[in-house]
Amino acid sequence: MSIHPGRHLRRHLSSLGTLALAAAMATLMACGPSEEELALVALQEDLTLAGGTIDSLNYTIESTNLLIDEMRDRVDSLNIVDTKLLESVQRLNKEVRHWRDLAGEHQRKNEQLSRQIETLKRDKQGDQRAIAQLRSQADSINSALLDAHTSIRRQEDHIRNMEQELGKSQDEVALLREAQVSVRLYAASEDYLKESGYLRVKRPFGGGFRKDYNLLQPLDATDPRVRLAPIDETIEIEGKIDVLVDRYGKVNKNAYERRTLDNGATAITFTDGLYGGADVLIVLK
């Protein structure tokens, strides 16, 4: 949820600043400002600056919450979500809540300081050591607020980076879904496929028998030479095809159709839906 404690504090500080200015002018017209009064005026200006800083921090927290809500909506739409990304979002939520509590605490301290200043004005107390202590506390609060503001800004950059990673994850999920209804093809010569560790070729009972082929390992979907062939869609393979091989051996000819094109390439179409998501080697002549 968004927080707005800084708005009330800013109006309160503005009213106090007006009263302080009027009191200072009246005193100046009467007998001239004392060092204590000048110090009180300077402290009042610092509190006004702190109020503006609190407003800026509140706006930054609201912006961060909107980014978190938007990223949650996008994460909910995915079936596969990176676990580390979710953990980072949860840590970020905890950190934002921490800084929000810190801002509220600082606001309460500022209000307490304002009441103490008013007490000093009414009692006309000019204790310089008390004023110096109050100013030191105000400086400490302002420093903590600036640190919180810087940390939130860094977290916004972190959120944007995670958003980019989430987009990449979405692309990978879309690619995986497409691969589930397509045949992964790797076309190359027999020697190249054997050297790459994908193909095993042997002749049972000596050289007089036909070759036996087997796919030895799954194809890498990120390899640029691996192509996706959706079921019932035709793709072109450069060169003439010798044999198609999956992990069980030669692919059944009833599972696909092929024809030679005028440009020398081969058009191939997988018609058997059971081959969706399967790996097939295309051994070229």
Task: Kindly give, in sequence order, each residue whose CB lies less than 8 Å from that of residue 85, ignoring residues fewer than 6 positions away.
Answer: 75, 162, 165, 166, 169
Task: Kindly give, in sequence order, each residue whose CB lies less than 8 Å from that of residue 126, ignoring residues fewer than 6 positions away.
Answer: 34, 35, 36, 37
**What per-residue confidence (pLDDT) applies to 3?**
43
Residue 61's Cβ-count burial label (10 Å; 0-12, 13-18, 19+) is: buried
Domain spans of the chain, in order of start: 5-179, 182-284
Residue 129's Cβ-count burial label (10 Å; 0-12, 13-18, 19+) is: exposed
Per-residue pLDDT tens over the stretch 150-164: 878 787 777 777 777
Please, which pLDDT band fits residue 5 given cuts at 50, 70 and 90? very low
d(CA 148, CA 96): 10
Per-residue pLDDT tens over the stretch 178-207: 556 789 999 999 999 999 999 999 877 655
HSE, CB side, 13 Å, CA atoms: give it for residue 54: 31
Q: What angle do CA 250, 252, 253 make, to 5 degrees?
A: 115
Give the mean pLDDT of 113-125. 75
Per-residue pLDDT tens over the stretch 218-261: 988 778 899 988 999 999 999 889 999 999 999 999 999 989 88
CB 183 within 8 A of CB 229: yes
pTM check: above 0.75: no
CB 171 within 8 A of CB 266: no
Per-residue pLDDT tens over the stretch 14-31: 454 455 555 555 554 455
